[in-house]
Amino acid sequence: MAQEIGEQTKVTLDLKTIGTIVGFTIALATTYFTSFFIIKIYLIVTQLTVLVFAFRIDGGLSLELPEDTTEQIQEQLTELQSNKF
């Protein structure tokens, strides 16, 4: 005969099960935050790569970044450093 689950149902968990659940939760959170930061760094590096190849020609080849772009890069790096968990 099937048992019904209600307020009187008792559930017991041993330490191994609780440890497995906690370990899985920590592993999942670690994977999420690691992936988040890898993607964030990839986007910053991609932007830097595009900026490096965006040079202008002034009587010769010279590599110059506009000042506002340099400030944007610095702000993004500062934001990335301040988002430590």
Alpha-carbon distance of 85 to 80, in angstroms, equals 11
Q: How much is the pLDDT for 53?
A: 61
How close are the terminal C-alpha atoms of the chain, in Å?
A: 50
Report which residue type is found at 70: T
Read off the tokens for 20: 């497995």
For 29-72, the pLDDT digits (tens) are: 999 999 988 888 888 888 777 666 654 444 445 556 666 677 77
Q: How much is the pLDDT for 21?
A: 95
User: Do residues 69 and 51 make contact, with C-beta atoms less than 8 angstroms apart?
Assistant: yes
Q: Name the CA dihedral angle for 37, 38, 41, 42, rounded to a multiple of 10 degrees.
A: -150
User: pLDDT grade, residue 4 (50/70/90)?
Assistant: confident
